[in-house]
Amino acid sequence: MRVSDEDRERTTLQLRQAFTEGRLTQPELEDRLELALTAKTYGDLLGLIADLPAEHTPADDVVELESKNNHIKRSGDWAVPRRLRISSKYGGVELDFSEAVVPHSVVDVELDLAYGSAKIILPEGAVANVDAWRGDHNEPKVSVPSRPRPGALCVVVSGRSKYGGLTVRYPRKRWFTH
């Protein structure tokens, strides 16, 4: 049976996860990603992940946050789920991972924003993939690397904003004076 773009994307996410866990080398990842993006059948995709652990996405690893008018904010010492689904009509979103407890090497953040913007702050060394993000009026502002690195947190951002934007960065440097 022929595969869809969503099937290809799911497989590329699983390959990136395997790379961040150290299961694939950089050349292996690149070769498999190229094959995944051009795959035509499920057999093509299954051959690329047959030697990897099955994708794990239990329902309790998904947290859904919704707001019509208020700002959604998570910062400080908070427990990050494997997958966040956030919907906001008029409010903005701020996710600060810099002091959070993140037990997963890959975190999926799905945003559905109408008028609000999103700001994601990552700990130093983390990476972000925003390829699946669509802003109707703004391009994302990303000042962190996007290429997965072994052992580093990888945040995969998907979704869209009609009028708002997306910013992904590291924490601002603090300068202390004595």
Q: In terms of domains, do 124 and 93 share one?
A: yes
Whether 76 maps to a domain, the answer reads: yes
3-12, 30-39, 110-119, 127-136: which range is least confident on average? Answer: 3-12
The residue segments making up the domain with residue 12 are: 5-49
Tokens describing residue 111: 């945003």
Tokens describing residue 24: 């694939």
pTM for this model (two decimals): 0.65
The mean pLDDT of the chain is: 88
Tens-place pLDDT, residues 36-85: 999 998 788 888 988 887 665 444 478 899 998 889 999 998 888 899 99
Q: Categorize the per-residue pLDDT at 125 as very low, low, confident or very high, splitting at 50, 70 and 90.
A: very high
Question: Total structural domains in the chain?
Answer: 2
pLDDT above 70: percentage of residues in the chain:
93
Q: In terms of domains, do 24 and 100 share one?
A: no
Q: In terms of domains, do 134 and 163 share one?
A: yes
Q: In terms of domains, do 151 and 70 share one?
A: yes
